[in-house]
Amino acid sequence: MILKLNTKIALVSLLTLFLTSKAFSQQVPLIPLPNKYAKGEGSFTLSSNTPIILNDQSLRASAAFLQQELLKHTGITLSVQQKASAPAIVLSHLKTAYTVPGSYQLKVSPDEIRLVSGTEEGLFNGLNSLLQLARTAPSKGGEITLAAWDITDSPKYEWRGLMLDESRQFFGKETVKFLIDWMAFYKLNRFHWHLTDEPGWRLEIKKYPKLTLVGGIGNHIDPTATAKYYTQEDVKDIIAYAADRFITVIPEIDMPGHAAAANKAYPEFSGGGSEKYPDFTFHPAKKATYDYLTNILKETNVLFPSGMVHLGGDEVHFGNEQWSKDNEVQSLMSDKKLGDLKAVEEYFIQRMADSLAKINSKVLLWDEAASSKLSPANTIIFWWRHDKPEQLALALSKKFPVVITPRLPLYFDFVQDSSQRVGRRWEGGFNPVDRVYNFSPSKLHTPGQASLIKGIQAALWTERIPTITKLEHMLFPRISALAESAWTNDVNKNYEQFESRLVGHLELFRKDKIYFFNPFNISENPEPFVAGQKDN
């Protein structure tokens, strides 16, 4: 009897293993996983003999991107031809097909690869799916064998973002472009650029040159480090590079708190701070402050074509205690009937939001602004405090559009594994790959509020990320999990299947010499350290 039972258990285990393996083999090896796909029959042989056919000459830039990336990563050289002399890659722009922003159809069959979309953005997403298939498929003798697939895909969320803090650590243009390349590869489309904070001001403002010449001095580790910043020409170059990859760049000019670098350059606009956070705020009761900041925003808005500026608005209470002792602030509170310092903060934000509205820019703010009286039509709230769900509920109740970016699990300065020594934790909690992957905003709102959720975003705060090596170790492979959480519908997600696809992507990281964290073998790339670095 025991023998029969053991035999049955063994057979069930083998059957389960067979079915699981078959399920994995039927899953397209893409990240993020498409929302609809089917395995076809046969395969397509991709080689330098494969032509690219365009149904519209406006697609030449798309073809050039495909040619460039395939040559770079596979050595295959493709040419654009008028007529197919061999099984071809056909790019089609059909204005009436797949018009949901970012959507596309990609069909790989033995006779051709056909990519169709109603938008250039959709075609670009489809090209990145094709590139992933090509880079993860078996190759031999200059030929890549692509399995047949029929993919019809569109994103779950409009906003699929990544934030980089360059006030605390400055990485430079090539690193930013490196991040943009990988964002595009994973169909992320919003780059939130945190350019000002306490340690340094990183954006050239021609009207106020000391912002970078003085405010650009220092970083989180060394307050005397040589001034580093982006010239306006640098910014234009990065914006154009991102636009070619259908990524929108959103600047953050933090106010009224986190203003120490700016106040170092122009102390006449300082509202003071606290013992721990000196010169932390802008002065909320001086007309000159608002004129100064409005001029900065005007220059910023001209430089960035996104029509959005993030004003920060977070953690003002860390350093606003001087406001309660300042005669001008007290007069403002009396004149405007502002009952407390939070009301002063909201008054400040309202005035700066009005300045942005006059130049046709939306205002983006952290979730402290959920209590404000700003117009939902011109405002986006970023919910970041996972321990304050009431702030999200308040924002949604007031009909604010919201980007979901909570510390747990979407702050990538948190450690990924309990063995790591440098990185944030929250009451013992941290952000491993599986928690990033399994995160779903749908659990945080009612069905009637779904349209207010614009999407999700991860944040790379850099107090604990002083080098590019550390940046890579904290970002990869969590960026892969983020991408699938932002793109793929919950019903289609499965972490074990994601892991099976991730193995192939780790190999891509190896080929590109990225110092990634390996969740399957953490000893492959040990946690990088900088001499004297502390977890602070």
Side-chain half-sphere exposure of 155, counting CA atoms within 13 A: 27
CB 28 within 8 A of CB 45: no
Identify whether 275 is a catalytic site residue: no
Q: CA 304, CA 252: separation in Å to the nearest integer?
A: 11
Asked whether the beta carbons of 372 and 350 are under 8 A apart, the reply is: yes
Q: b/e per residue, 283-311, with b = 16+ CB within 10 A?
A: bbbbeebbebbbebbbbbbebbebebbbb
DSSP E strand stretches across 290-427:
308-312, 362-366, 379-383, 402-404
Burial of 369 (0-12, 13-18, 19+ CB in 10 A): buried
Could you check whether the bond before residue 256 is cis, i.e. omega within 30 degrees of 0? Answer: yes
CB 133, CB 30: distance < 8 Å: yes
The H or E element spanning position 290 is helix 287-303
Residue 530 contacts residue 466 (beta carbons within 8 Å):
yes
Select from 402, 486, 381 the least CA-distant residue to 444. 402
Neighbours of 423 (CB within 10 A): 22
Annotated catalytic residue, options 112, 120, 143, 315: 315
- How far is C-alpha 266 from the geometric centre of its chain's CA atoms? 32
Beta strands in 154-201 (DSSP E): 159-165, 190-194
- Number of H helices and number of E strands within the chain? 16, 18
The Cα 66–Cα 463 span in angstroms is: 37
- Cis geometry, peptide bond prior to residue 477 (ω within 30 degrees of 0): yes
Residues marked active site are found at 315
